[in-house]
Amino acid sequence: MELEKAVVRTGRHQAERKQASVVVIRKPGKDHYSKVKAYCSISQLSGMGNVVEQEVAELLAEDADRRGLLSDGQYGSKKRRSAIDAGAIMVDRAHAAWREGHIASVLLMDIKAAFPSVGRGRLILRMRGKGMDGDLI
C-alpha cells in the first residue's frame, strides 16, 4: 500500500504503468463517419496500472468510511455490503409498507457517469476539507 500512496503523492508512475492499448470503433447508426464524434475509443491500462488504481480506490473508500463520510445508505465501495444487500433491504421495506397498507415506490439512480465531470480542483478541496489522508489526495 505504501507504493500506491507514493504513486499518488508524487504523481509519478512507472512508464509501463501508464501505457494503454486503445481501440477506436465506429458508433452505430451515424450518418457521417468523417467526424470524430462518430467514433468511440476503448482503452485498457496495463495490468499494474489497474492494480494501483484499484488499491487507491480501496484506500480512499476505507478512509472515507473510517471518517464517517459515507451515508449508511451507501452500498458501493463499502466492505461487507453489496447490491444484493441493497436489493434485500429495498424488498423488505416495500413488504413492510404493504403490510401497513401503504404504497411503496423506489427511485433508482445511476450516478456513475457524473464523476468524470467533477472538477478536480474542487474535489481536492472538498477531500482536504473533510480531513482525508493527504497522501491519497
Mean per-residue pLDDT of the chain: 79
Question: Scanning the structure block, which residue is given the C-alpha cell 463499502?
Answer: 78
pTM: 0.52
pLDDT tens by residue, 62-94: 888 888 888 777 777 677 888 888 889 889 999
Specify the higher pLDDT residue, 23 or 53: 23
Q: With CA atoms as reference, report the closest residue to 103 among 112, 93, 111.
A: 93
Beta strands in 12-129 (DSSP E): 20-26, 39-45
Output the pLDDT for position 84: 86
Reported confidence tier of residue 10, pLDDT bands at 50, 70, 90:
low
pLDDT tens by residue, 89-126: 889 999 999 999 999 988 877 766 666 677 878 888 98
Output the pLDDT for position 92: 93
pLDDT above 90: percentage of residues in the chain = 9
Output the pLDDT for position 30: 86
Query: Cα separation of 57 and 35, whole Å?
Result: 35
Task: Give CA angle at 42 (37, 46), nearest 5°.
Answer: 145
For residue 39 the three cell numbers come to 467514433
Query: Cα separation of 113 and 128, whole Å?
Result: 23
